[in-house]
């Protein structure tokens, strides 16, 4: 597992704040969930034949012998909590959560063993407008972060559990009769999760898949209608999409709509957000039947995308004010001035150099910290009741200003700074 250093964590917080605001603006409320749940929850929820449960869970030996796991995703825990606290039965709930998820994978850029997700789940709404709303939340957030142009929405329907069962039988029969052309991974999946073979990147397997039966031929009128309605809503919201009949997702709980937002900017780890409907999951985990749907955004990947296309997200502390004092009395005054600046320029980071030393040394530190402005106080400033303001990142003379004028100058120069 990796450490997240300040260069990354600042961008990450900004993205999380934007996501949080976006979710609140759609009326979703936060649920804080445990990081550890019983292993059985994920076996029943995510599915014991899935890669996540079979190969990727961090399992813990608890003292009382109950098998526990670090959560590999948030939906199962969210549904468990919704059942336990009566948030899913006979009512509508719109919930969101965030935090680390854990999967035992081979780490590489964009794929980590501990990664951050922000997810949302809504219970009690069976209508297709909800599926479209969940996609819209993603769309709004990506637009806000300036990355919507780099994102492609793929969408599919995988029908009800019953429809899928019939489809899977037909698919398995087709794949069985073309066994010889399947790659080793697909052969391994043939028994337990033939649907996942549709994801295969192997070229001979892809040729077999191209002639395989399609899920849409196994859907009844209601399922087709649901999907068509979702697409109509997306069109009316102005959200572009591509129907991908091979998008099946690697978790067992989905029914009907499934979707993924993908980018080309991140190579193989291009899936930034994913979700769908899961109308059987609440009942499957022991609650009274209730429809549900949701999504989760991978924050680590969203940050990588912002960094690769959007320099603003990538330049941390662009508004930092660095305060320097050249003697002990000036430092005492500066620590109070720092507090006043934090109030008057809310949102702007203000660092007071508490280490002190020669002016030149402190100025070098200010530069290394990436300060945009330095504010200097020494004996002569104190005698005159002014502060020296020095721009660090743009051309311009330094000036000696009274406090109020200095705040005005900073506000004017940067339209609010942050
Ligand atoms: P998921 O597709 O497994 O779905 O994960 C959602 C997102 O989490 C991915 O698109 C990706 O951005 C990020 N992610 C997954 N694994 C990693 C990893 N190892 N490193 C970095 N990022 C990763 C779910 O988790 C479902 N619970 C989504 C959902 C919610 N469906 C309905 N409600």
**pLDDT, tens only, 157-171:** 999 999 999 999 999
Assess whether the C-beta atom of 273 lies below 6 angstroms from ligand 1: yes
From the CA of 23, how far away is ligand 1's center (Å)? Answer: 18
For helices 403-414 and 328-344, give the axis angle rounded to 10 degrees: 50
Please determine, for residue 287, whether its predicted confidence score (pLDDT) is greater than 80.
yes
| Averaged pLDDT for residues 316-324 | 82
- At 193, the pLDDT band (50, 70, 90 cuts) reads confident
pLDDT digits (tens, 9 = 90+) for 382-411: 999 999 999 998 888 999 999 999 999 999
pLDDT at 93 over 90: yes
Residue 272 Cα: closest atom of ligand 1: 12
- Nearest C-alpha to atom 18 of ligand 1 is from which residue? 111
pLDDT score of 313: 53
Rounded to 10 degrees, what is the CA torsion of 15, 20, 26, 31?
140
pLDDT at 418: 45
**C-beta 10 within 6 A of ligand 1:** no
In the chain, pLDDT over 90 holds for what percent of residues?
85
> In angstroms, what is the span from residue 298 Cα to ligand 1's centroid?
6
Residue nearest to atom 17 of ligand 1 (CA): 111
pTM of the predicted protein model: 0.90
211-235 pLDDT, tens digit per residue, is 999 998 999 999 999 999 999 999 9
* Mean pLDDT (the chain, rounded): 94
- Residue-wise pLDDT for 21-64, tens only, equals 999 999 999 999 999 999 999 999 999 888 899 999 999 988 89
Q: Is residue 311's pLDDT more than 60? A: no
Beta carbon of 301 within 6 Å of any ligand 1 atom: yes
Q: What residues pair up with 377 in beta bridges, in sequence order?
A: 325
CB-ligand 1 contact for 390 (6 Å cutoff): no
């Amino acid at each position: 597992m990796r450490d997240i250093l300040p260069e990354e964590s600042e961008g990450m917080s900004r993205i999380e704040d934007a996501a949080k605001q976006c979710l609140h603006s759609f009326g979703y409320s936060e649920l804080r969930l445990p990081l550890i749940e019983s292993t059985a929850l994920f076996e029943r929820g995510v599915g014991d034949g899935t890669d996540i449960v079979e190969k990727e869970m961090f399992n813990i030996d608890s003292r009382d012998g109950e098998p526990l796991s670090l959560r590999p995703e948030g939906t199962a825990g969210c549904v468990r909590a919704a059942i336990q606290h009566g948030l899913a039965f006979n009512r509508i709930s719109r919930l969101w959560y965030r935090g680390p998820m854990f999967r035992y994978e081979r780490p590489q850029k964009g794929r980590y063993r501990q990664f951050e997700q922000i997810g949302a789940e809504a219970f009690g709404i069976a209508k297709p407008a909800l599926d479209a709303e969940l996609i819209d939340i993603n769309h709004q957030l990506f637009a806000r972060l300036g990355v919507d142009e780099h994102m492609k929405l793929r969408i599919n329907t995988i029908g009800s559990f019953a429809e899928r069962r019939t489809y899977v039988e037909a698919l398995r029969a087709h794949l069985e009769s073309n066994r010889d052309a399947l790659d080793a991974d697909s052969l391994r999946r043939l028994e337990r999760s033939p649907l996942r073979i549709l994801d295969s990147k192997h070229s001979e397997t892809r040729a077999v898949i191209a002639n395989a039966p399609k899920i849409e031929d196994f859907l009844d009128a209601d399922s087709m209608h649901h999907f068509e309605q979702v697409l109509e809503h997306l069109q009316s919201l102005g959200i572009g999409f591509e129907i991908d009949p091979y998008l099946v997702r690697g978790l067992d709980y989905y029914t009907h709509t499934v979707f993924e937002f993908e980018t080309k900017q991140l190579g193989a780890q291009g899936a930034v957000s994913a979700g769908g409907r899961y109308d059987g999951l609440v009942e499957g985990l022991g609650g009274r039947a209730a429809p549900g749907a949701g999504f989760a955004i991978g924050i680590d990947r969203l940050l990588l995308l912002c960094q690769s296309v959007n320099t603003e997200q990538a330049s941390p502390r662009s508004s930092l004010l660095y305060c320097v004092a050249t003697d002990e009395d000036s430092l005492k005054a500066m620590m109070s001035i720092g507090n006043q600046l934090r109030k008057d320029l809310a949102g702007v980071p203000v660092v007071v150099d508490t280490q002190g030393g020669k002016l030149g040394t402190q100025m070098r530190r200010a530069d290394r910290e990436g300060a945009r402005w330095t504010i200097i106080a020494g004996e002569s400033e104190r005698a005159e009741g002014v502060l020296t303001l020095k721009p660090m990142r743009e051309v311009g003379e330094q000036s000696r200003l009274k406090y109020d004028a200095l705040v005005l100058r900073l506000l004017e120069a940067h339209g609010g700074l942050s």
